Structure 1
Amino acid sequence: MRSTNLDAAIATGAPPQARSLPGTAAAILVPLAAFGALAGLLQVHEQWETGLLVLAFLAALVLLDRSRAGRSLAEACRTQSGIASTSAVLAALALLWTFREDHYSLLMVATVALYAVAGVGLNIQMAFGGIANFAAAAFFSIGAYTAAVLAGHTGLPHLLVLAAGGVVSALIGVVMLLPVLRTRGHYVALVTIAFGVLLRTLLEVNDTFGGPQGMKIPGFAPFGSDFGDVATIAGFDVSFYLPYALAAAALFALAFLAGRMLERSWVGIAMDAVRTDEIAASAFGLSPARWKATAFLTGNVLIGVAGALYGMMNGFVNPNGAGFGESLIMLSIIVLGGLGNFWGAIVAGAVIIILPEKLQSIQEYRLLIFAVVVIAILRFRPGGILPRPLRTLGRQQGGAS
């Protein structure tokens, strides 16, 4: 009987313990614990409480890395990703409802979710396509400026405005593709940095887009219902940021599903092959230019859509949002979270965006503490908080050209 269970586990591609009842329980409890930690971070106000949470977070990472129990938990979440994802969705909804009247907490959660959407796009570009995009904030701002123009000066439905933010970001990205595809390595990074600097300068001197002051953006109003006017849901008083947080969470869920489907398809395999070795991929009939362009444009669509919703939530956009510093924050999120792991963008986004906000009262040491946390994670866990698991092709079929 025992050998039969072992054979069944091997046939499904998962270790026996990952398919057991304890493995299922782990896949349910780990996301709940993660969102519980996020709720704790949103609630704390004292510096020592924030410090304890940071230490607990680092201890949990060490446990996942160094202990057998931690590795079993991680393996259970990987092999039962559907259960883990369902648990994460329910935990996220519970978190949003718990903070339904808290403007600040909901704003932070929505910001993390939208930066995570941009992180999915950056992961497609960097982890799949191998393109180092140091101008992510520029395309994020392009989506916001597109929303400002279309929502403020046309009658286009706001759902189409979000889509237009992604399309315009991708189309402008085509301009940058020409030099990107003709360069390699760190020269690609230099091209993207130069593009970001150029775009910010153009926005600052262009009065059509508001110059240095930027532009106002109407609030998001799908189907004629303005999110800014929402005060109650089902008889409960809620913050007007709750609809934005729900929309941001839904957008991340869609981006996550799209990214996961792409990763598991023959398109994702082709991108991985080109990123790993362009010469070998070319020898097997794959076009590096085609798949790099696909990764870059797909990533820009997601980044632009996230930027459009972010601009509508904040009500304005200015050239500062397209700066190099903002791009580094987005890059830090995907590197810290784990290149190629979409859940890592949520975890790292919470660390990078919310943690500094909780350390406002010690301005002199805030960046120092943040830098120490990042260095410690990258030193002892170089793959990031949630490293991307190795791809296995034994059960995947398909082709690319």
Structure 2
Amino acid sequence: MNLKLLFMRADGLLGLAIVIALCIGEACLLLLLESQLALFLLLLLTVVLWFTVRRVGLAQAAGSAVACRVGAANMLVCLGIFILILIFREEHYALLMIGTVLLFTTAGIGLNIQTGLTGLANFAGASFFASGGYTMAVLVQKGTIPHELALLAGGAISALIGILLLLPVLRTRGYYSALVTIAFGLLFSSFLQVNEHLGGSEGLQVEGLRLFGWDMSTGFEWGGGEVSFYFAYCVLAILVFLMASLLAHAIEWSAIGVNLDATRNDELVSSTFGISTQRWKITAFLLGNFVIGVAGALYSGMTGFISPAGATFEQSLLLISIIVLGGIGNTWGTLIAATFIILLPEKLHALQEYRVLLFSVLVVIILMFSPKGLVPRAMRNFSRKRGIHE
């Protein structure tokens, strides 16, 4: 039987399951290996697997599953991630890395709503990520509201801060819009450095976090061993990631997504057909910042600390690198790219000081072979049976 036909069974769910299993295996090896030589060999194996997956039709099958069976595809991915955290349930460092990847992926989804769907260049993603973290830190220290609401408040404050940028962003396009967000990011980082109420350059600690009645700073006994307290954070990070990905997919497949795409492709033509491009830009910018802020709030709770170092231009470039490498507008590509961009510098200690250089080289190399990223966004079209689909 033709392999491509086999992988396309059940709307491609079989192919997606195989891809997820391969990714989980790669992630396990990446977290377990310590030898620098072994890690480089793993990278070579990853490149070979990537080309193989594309050639035998696994990538096409996985894409079909994501498009046709959204709920099942999301559950398969989250189940795979949950199996991964079960494997490393007693390892603090591994769970911290997994949680970090999930939350940076969630932030990437928010950035994709702005950049991938609407075409808004946001080079201040780290500023909104950090604003969510600082909001969580301040509200937890004050102890005035439940910590669950503090998590949502992180997203709300990030969206409100984004309002400050709306006027210049709406009045500019392309490179000029990017420069506006870069300038804002630099100003915001400087503001955090000198603001003593927010801890100045030393930042703030986030202690005593309780979410949904659970003390997030303690582990528990299970299977004869002590489960890391990061386990609960990882489970919550999976839920946040799942909700963000479902939100992004719902937007993309609705009339809202069509309007956002039209705005990105040609504002003048869109306006001619009665589409309010300004309104859709505002919607995408504020909604994207809300998602980024929620991810930042949970990240500060997980790490127990937030500082101006998390709002630098370098961190914003990291987020941009994640969505460009993964494929602008594609959630699952964002997850794959975040895995390597977060974990590689942590594992390859010799490259820690050259993170920006590493990201730049990765972007150039991958875009040479795959101009639309590791997992390009599928083209949307129309069908009488299903309406909008990909």
Instruction: List aligned pairs for 1:315-326, cutoff 5 A.
Output: 315-326=304-315
- Conservation of the 8 A alpha-carbon contact between 1:157 and 1:223: no
Seen in structure 2, the aligned counterparts of structure 1 residues 80 and 207 have a Cα distance that, compared at 3 Å, is same
Q: Indicate which of 139, 158, 173 corresponds to 2:128.
A: 139
Give ranges in structure 1 of 5+ residues lacking alignment. Answer: 1-14
The aligned counterpart of 1:170 is 159
Query: Which 4+ runs in 1 deviate beyond 3 A?
Result: 15-19, 21-24, 68-84, 233-236, 361-374, 395-398
The aligned counterpart of 1:210 is 199
The aligned counterpart of 2:57 is 69
- Distance (whole Å) between structure 2 residues aligned to residue 310 and residue 36 of structure 1: 25
Q: Indicate which of 112, 115, 118 corresponds to 1:129.
A: 118
The aligned counterpart of 1:3 is none
Matched, 1:332 2:321: yes
Matched, 1:272 2:258: no
- Distance (whole Å) between structure 2 residues aligned to residue 369 and residue 172 of structure 1: 31
The aligned counterpart of 2:102 is 113
1:175 CA displacement: 0.8
Q: Indicate which of 5, 24, 41 corresponds to 1:35.
A: 24
- Conservation of the 8 A alpha-carbon contact between 1:215 and 1:316: yes
1:374 CA displacement: 3.6
Alignment coverage as a number of residue pairs? 383
Output one character per residue of 1:173-232: Cα deviation in whole Å (capped at 9) or x when no partner. Answer: 001001100111100000001111111111111111111111111243113421112233
1:72 CA displacement: 4.4
The aligned counterpart of 2:296 is 307
Instruction: List aligned pairs for 1:147-226, cutoff 5 A.
Output: 147-226=136-215
Seen in structure 2, the aligned counterparts of structure 1 residues 295 and 90 have a Cα distance that, compared at 3 Å, is same
1:17 CA displacement: 6.5
Match of 2:383, SS state, is coil
- Distance (whole Å) between structure 2 residues aligned to residue 49 and residue 391 of structure 1: 41
TM-score normalised per structure 1:
0.89
The one-letter amino acid of 1:307's match is: G
Q: Indicate which of 342, 345, 358 corresponds to 1:353.
A: 342
- Conservation of the 8 A alpha-carbon contact between 1:219 and 1:315: no
- Distance (whole Å) between structure 1 residues aligned to residue 87 and residue 210 of structure 2: 24
* Deviates further, 364-373 or 307-316: 364-373
Seen in structure 2, the aligned counterparts of structure 1 residues 141 and 71 have a Cα distance that, compared at 3 Å, is closer
The one-letter amino acid of 2:287's match is: T
Match of 2:381, SS state, is coil
Q: Indicate which of 91, 96, 104 corresponds to 2:80.
A: 91
Match of 1:279, SS state, is helix
Seen in structure 2, the aligned counterparts of structure 1 residues 381 and 191 have a Cα distance that, compared at 3 Å, is same
Over aligned residue pairs, what C-alpha RMSD do you find? 2.2
Q: Indicate which of 55, 59, 65 corresponds to 2:48.
A: 59
1:394 CA displacement: 2.4
The one-letter amino acid of 2:316's match is: S
The aligned counterpart of 2:274 is 285
- Conservation of the 8 A alpha-carbon contact between 1:122 and 1:136: yes
Of the two, which has the highest radius of gyration? Answer: 1
The one-letter amino acid of 1:296's match is: F
The one-letter amino acid of 1:342's match is: T
Give ranges in structure 2 of 5+ residues lacking alignment. Answer: none
The aligned counterpart of 2:239 is 250
- Distance (whole Å) between structure 2 residues aligned to residue 145 and residue 365 of structure 1: 27
TM-score normalised per structure 2:
0.92
The aligned counterpart of 1:12 is none
The one-letter amino acid of 1:69's match is: G
